[in-house]
Amino acid sequence: MKLIGMLDSPYVRRVAISLKAMGFSFEHQQLSVFNDIEKMQAVNPLMKAPSLITDEGTLLIDSTLILEYLYRKCSADCSLFPKDLEQFTKSQYLIGIALTLCDKAVQLFMEYNRRPPEKFYQEWADRIDEQLQTGLELLDHHVIVNDAGYVIAERVMQADITIAVAIKYIEKKLPDLYKNHVSNKLKTFSTKMEALPFFQEYMF
Ligand SMILES: N[C@@H](CCC(=O)N[C@@H](CS)C(=O)NCC(=O)O)C(=O)O
């Protein structure tokens, strides 16, 4: 398998870290969707990251769809989702908040850094900012870390990974939001996750 995309993308990171946590061996090619256009188009004409090329040569797009494929491919024990329905629902809830934070943080970063200043869309930026603050409040309220240091089980699961990559993206790309609206609880959780070998190997 081959994973294509830069590690400054929270979506690429969640796939890379998950592949590692699930014990898959894979090749990783760091191509930028903005700076390596031709090479990226050759891999994926839609120029999206993450892109995963399966061993059979099929192109898979979208981190969530790629992860679904990986769960089907791996043995039951390596799943990063809980079997119990109540725990699974909790996990999906947390992942939903974390993915929304990723989407909104990427949008806000783009608004500030890619859009020409004269076309800056203040109402849109304000709306995103509010969504980010609400998402961070929700996450702070619902993240309850267990004795093992995780939110769902006694080992790292998909919810831990997606929450941690979202917080790291905010820390790196939206430092003011990180400083003012990411709680100490979430900062501590992020630091602990980022110290794990899976995360260290695929650092932002
Ligand atoms: N929902 C997608 C989002 C992926 C995404 O938007 N990736 C960005 C890089 S962080 C990208 O491909 N941007 C280029 C574009 O949208 O044209 C996922 O989970 O993979």
119 Cα: distance to centroid of ligand 1 (angstroms): 22
Same domain, 93 and 189: yes
CATH number at residue 28: 3.40.30.10
Cβ contacts of 20 within 8 Å, gap of 6 or more: 198, 201, 202
Domain containing 193 equals 85-201
For the chain, give the mean pLDDT: 97
Domain end residue (candidates: 51, 78, 105): 78
For residue range 41-70, what is the model confidence (pLDDT) as tens digits? 999 999 999 999 999 999 999 999 999 999
Burial class (CB in 10 A: 0-12, 13-18, 19+), 200: exposed
For position 190, what pLDDT does the model report? 98
For position 77, what pLDDT does the model report? 78
Domain end residue (candidates: 43, 78, 113): 78
- How many structural domains does the chain have? 2
Closest Cα to residue 78, out of 196, 158, 161? 158
Cβ contacts of 31 within 8 Å, gap of 6 or more: 4, 5, 6, 39, 40, 43, 49
Ligand 1 site residues, Cβ closer than 6 angstroms: 9, 11, 33, 47-50, 62-64, 106
For residue range 152-190, what is the model confidence (pLDDT) as tens digits? 999 999 999 999 999 999 999 999 999 999 999 999 999
pTM over the 0.95 mark: yes
Domain end residue (candidates: 78, 108, 137): 78
Closest residue (by CA) to atom 2 of ligand 1?
62
pLDDT band with cut points at 50, 70 and 90 for residue 92? very high
For residue range 116-144, what is the model confidence (pLDDT) as tens digits? 999 999 999 999 999 999 999 999 999 99
Task: Please list the residues that pair with 174 across neighbouring strands.
Answer: none
